[in-house]
Amino acid sequence: MPDRAREKPMFERVVVKLSGEALMGTDPFGLNAPTVQRIAEDLKAAAELGVQVAVVVGGGNFFRGLQGADKGIERARADSIGMLATVMNALAMEGALEQLGQPARVLSAAPMPSLCQPYSRQAALAHLVKRRVIVLAGGTGNPFFTTDTGASLRACELAAGAVMKATQVDGVYTADPKRDPAAKRFDRLTHDEAIARNLQIMDTAAFALARDNGIPIVVFSINEPGAIRAALLGQGRATYVMP
């Protein structure tokens, strides 16, 4: 049996950035129910450590703004469609968490009060202190900004200890490890080192927000069960980008 008293998380409040693609599992499109449930279990396990958890979810499993723009849809309109996709994912994750007995609330930067609560900093903080997992949809509420930027923005607003970027690889590498077998993985970096090495951890606006506000970024693979909890405890494989 693990010694729970020794399992002290590195951060008291975090924003988990979850891509829409992560929710597809092995499916080519949409939501994969077992994958959604597994990630919900991971988020619940993180909350059970006493960590206040906010989740910013993407929408790429349904629609990406850049894809729509490539197909001739005006970029601002395409990004608005993408925001709607994030609301669908957020509602699915809220439902999965509630089924596990973990209280959760969706807050959307694109107001749609018949479906979920509009985002405000005050409302988000009120839910967090009540130990509810909040699922933040709609990105920043504006076109031309990614959900990575939304995650960094919410981390700044909510005074989070870190942005936890869930990806398909177990950290930051010198190159794409799927294409370059010689790529080397970093355990720890500073923001300045990441810039100097030109490591593409997040888009420029998102990374600048985290760097300028001294917010660590934890990059880890969401494909392993328990990955969020392990990264919070400094266990498992992850890269910690620290101020």
pLDDT in tens, 97-147: 999 999 999 999 999 999 999 999 999 999 999 999 999 999 999 999 999
Mean pLDDT of 20-33: 94
Give the closest residue to 200 by CA, choosing from 230, 165, 235: 165
Number of other CB atoms surrounding residue 32 within 10 Å: 17
Structural tokens at position 72: 């001739």
CA–CA separation, 11 and 52 (whole Å): 9
Q: What is the DSSP letter of 45?
A: H
Q: What is the DSSP letter of 73?
A: -
Give CATH for domain 4-242: 3.40.1160.10
3-class secondary structure, 20: coil
Q: What count of Cα atoms within 13 Å lies in the side-chain half-sphere of residue 206? A: 26
Give the closest residue to 237 by CA, choosing from 159, 172, 141: 172
Reported as a single tens digit per residue, the pLDDT across 159-178 is: 999 999 999 899 999 988 88
| 65 vs 150, more confident | 150
Number of other CB atoms surrounding residue 19 within 10 Å: 21
Reported as a single tens digit per residue, the pLDDT across 59-108 is: 999 987 767 667 789 999 999 999 999 999 999 999 999 999 999 999 99
Q: 130: alpha, beta or left, given left = phi > 0 and alpha = psi -120 to 50?
A: alpha
Looking at the predicted structure, is the pLDDT value of residue 24 above 70?
yes
Looking at the predicted structure, is the pLDDT value of residue 236 above 90?
no
In the chain, domain spans: 4-242
